[in-house]
């Protein structure tokens, strides 16, 4: 599913005063060369958004009939135009049967046209552009940058985790002409994927958050993963800034990639004594983190409205990027206090426990939703966060874990090794789902074993029956396992409790 973003739209609230018309993102005429298209059945006056999904399309959007794994967007063109799309982008093969449905831009290949529009958006932009990649923390770092720079100028950033071959050009195509700061996430599953995306984004600043053992099914080693992440520097604008994690084992390898690029400066961050942006002290609290840092020798103390050491370390990269684009460090550090983890990436919600009093916070348990994705590095970080979570008098720290996918031949050992951070963080109970997680299950101490099942669906009942007041429950696994259904089951079964201790609908 995609999200149709309309530049200039305000958040939906009711009641509200009439809003001015949405800003023009593209004129109908400008789209012809930008898409390498011919027009059929007329031209729209203006386009105010870009969509590839009729479920989220808004009036004024340009609909791209992209072919996906499960469906072909051409089947939804008529519906998109009926729902108010300004026009649709279709290929030559489907154009004859779609004529008469509304304004069309006819191209050879729809995805190639989206890439062309993304490149055109980047070419016309005068923004400071930042690109982010890494094995862990891409999306949270992108969101932290959005928050840090959002109060300093007009900021545009990738929606959700739109970081692949269609997500990056889609995010670029949605960038308004007058953007001052553009922030883009770049991801990969295999070698050679980052380079073309970075060359499309053409960042002034490129960040690699960290390199870890992810997607090992497609890479022979972690060093090879570092080489693939280092491709981000291939797109740097001349004189650009490369920002690297000084604490990571692959720092020197990444530095070599940066030196071979057009980077004019390399900036390091971390706890390492030689880091340019260095954390001198990280104070971890259950709901927040305090960082005492040196930013190029200047002392900075700030609060992050999200817990976790990995979040704190990535915030150093955020400050380095703000400095690199001549932003205000003080305003950026202040803005990080409002950073909250999104759904699936550390979101925290208190739910009423079985038999608990809704008016009594002690009658609730804490749910930490880390269900969006997982790899060994992010799993360890999430277990560390669970270890920092407050529990009640009878509360326990409970980890609900599903398989980490795409780890190749090392999968069994990497899953079993999670027992280390489980012990280190005093996790009381572990619920495990999936054949790979069975290797961890066998490594667990008997008293730590909650329940095991082949799938998260089979584990739901055991988790629902076990939670009680005072517990802290963290759910994590790779997206393909559908472990998020356990988060949904907990939220559906136990009402949320607001900060005043009252039940919410």
Each residue of 178-192: pLDDT tens digit?
999 999 999 998 899
The mean pLDDT of 385-397, rounded to a whole number, is 91
Does 312 have pLDDT greater than 50?
yes
**What is the Cα–Cα distance from 471 to 478, expressed in whole angstroms?**
23
Cβ(293)–Cβ(279) below 8 Å: yes
List the alpha helices (DSSP H) in 185-237. 194-201, 222-229
Instruction: For 395-444, give the DSSP string.
Output: --EEEEEEPPPS-GGGHHHHHHTTHHHHHHTT--EEEEESTTHHHHHHHS
229 labeled part of a ligand binding site: no
- Which pLDDT belongs to residue 430? 98
Task: Give the residue with greater pLDDT, 310 vs 16.
Answer: 310
CATH code reported for the domain at 125-338: 3.40.1190.10
CATH code reported for the domain at 347-493: 3.90.190.20
Segments of the chain assigned to CATH 3.40.1390.10: 26-109
E strand or H helix that includes residue 473: strand 472-476
CATH of the structural domain 26-109, one choice from 3.40.1280.10, 3.40.1390.10, 3.10.20.740, 3.30.56.10 = 3.40.1390.10
pTM: 0.84
Residue of 365, 363, 328 whose CA lies nearest to 348: 365
Query: Kindly report the CA angle at 363 between 359 and 369, in degrees rounded to 5?
Result: 110
134 labeled part of a ligand binding site: yes
Segments of the chain assigned to CATH 3.40.1190.10: 125-338
E strand or H helix that includes residue 39: strand 38-40
Number of CB atoms found within 10 A of residue 298's CB: 10
- Which pLDDT belongs to residue 115? 98
Phi, psi of 433 (to 5 degrees): -135, 135
**What is the Cα–Cα distance from 244 to 254, expressed in whole angstroms?**
7
135 labeled part of a ligand binding site: yes
Cβ(55)–Cβ(49) below 8 Å: no
Classify residue 366 by its DSSP letter: E
| pLDDT digits 0-9 by tens, 83-102 | 999 999 999 999 999 999 99
Residue 8, by phi and psi: left (phi above 0), alpha (psi -120 to 50) or beta? Answer: left
- Which pLDDT belongs to residue 235? 98
- Which pLDDT belongs to residue 1? 30
139 labeled part of a ligand binding site: yes
Cβ(140)–Cβ(163) below 8 Å: no
Mean of the per-residue pLDDT values of the chain = 91
The residue whose two tokens read 């797109």 is: 235
Residue of 290, 309, 329, 286 whose CA lies nearest to 149: 329
**What is the Cα–Cα distance from 449 to 502, expressed in whole angstroms?**
33
Does 77 have pLDDT greater than 50?
yes
3-state class of 138 per DSSP?
Answer: helix
Segments of the chain assigned to CATH 3.90.190.20: 347-493
487 labeled part of a ligand binding site: no
Residue of 267, 252, 374, 264 whose CA lies nearest to 316: 267
């Amino acid at each position: 599913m995609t999200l149709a973003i309309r530049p200039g739209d305000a958040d939906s609230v009711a009641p509200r005063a009439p809003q001015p018309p949405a800003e023009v993102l593209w004129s109908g005429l400008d789209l012809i060369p930008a898409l390498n298209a011919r027009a059929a059945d007329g031209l729209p006056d203006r386009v105010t958004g870009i969509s590839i999904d009729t479920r989220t399309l808004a009036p004024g959007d340009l609909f791209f009939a992209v072919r996906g794994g499960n469906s072909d967007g051409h089947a939804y063109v008529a519906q998109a135009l009926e729902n108010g799309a300004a026009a649709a982008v279709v290929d030559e093969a489907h154009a004859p049967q779609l004529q008469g449905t509304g304004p069309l831009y006819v191209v050879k290949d729809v995805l190639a046209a989206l890439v062309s529009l993304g490149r055109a958006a980047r070419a016309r932009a005068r923004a400071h552009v930042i690109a982010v990649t890494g094995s862990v923390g891409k999306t949270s770092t992108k969101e932290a940058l959005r928050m840090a720079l959002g109060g300093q100028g007009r900021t545009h950033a990738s929606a959700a985790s739109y970081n692949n071959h269609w997500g990056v050009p889609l995010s670029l195509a949605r960038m308004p002409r007058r953007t001052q700061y553009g922030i883009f996430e770049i991801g990969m599953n295999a070698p050679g994927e980052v380079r073309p995306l970075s060359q499309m984004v053409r960042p002034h600043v490129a960040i690699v958050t960290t390199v870890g053992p992810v997607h090992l099914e497609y890479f022979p080693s972690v060093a090879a993963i570092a080489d693939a992440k280092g491709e981000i520097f291939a797109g740097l604008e001349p004189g650009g800034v490369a920002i690297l994690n000084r604490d990571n084992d692959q720092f020197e390898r990444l530095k070599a990639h940066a030196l071979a690029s057009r980077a004019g400066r390399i900036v390091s961050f971390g706890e390492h004594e030689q880091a340019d942006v260095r954390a001198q002290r990280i104070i971890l609290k259950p709901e927040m983190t305090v960082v005492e840092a040196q930013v190029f020798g200047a002392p900075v103390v700030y609060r992050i409205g999200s817990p976790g050491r990995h979040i704190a370390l990535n915030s150093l990269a955020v400050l380095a990027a703000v400095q690199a684009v001549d932003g205000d460090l003080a305003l950026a550090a202040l803005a990080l206090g409002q950073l909250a983890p999104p759904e699936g990436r550390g979101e925290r919600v208190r739910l009423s426990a079985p038999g608990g009093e809704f008016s009594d916070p002690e009658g609730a348990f804490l749910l930490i939703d880390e269900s969006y994705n997982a790899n060994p590095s992010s799993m360890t970080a999430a277990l560390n966060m669970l270890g920092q979570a407050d529990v009640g008098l009878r509360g326990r720290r409970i980890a609900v874990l599903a398989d980490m996918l795409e780890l190749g031949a090392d999968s069994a050992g990497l899953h079993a090794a999670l027992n280390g951070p489980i012990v280190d963080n005093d996790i009381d109970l572990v619920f495990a789902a999936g054949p790979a997680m069975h290797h961890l299950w066998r490594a667990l101490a008997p008293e730590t074993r909650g329940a095991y099942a082949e799938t998260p669906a089979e584990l739901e009942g055991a988790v629902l029956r076990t939670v009680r007041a005072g517990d802290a429950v963290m759910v994590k696994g790779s997206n393909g396992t559908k472990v998020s259904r356990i988060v949904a089951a907990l939220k559906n079964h136990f009402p949320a409790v607001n900060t005043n201790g009252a039940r919410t609908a």
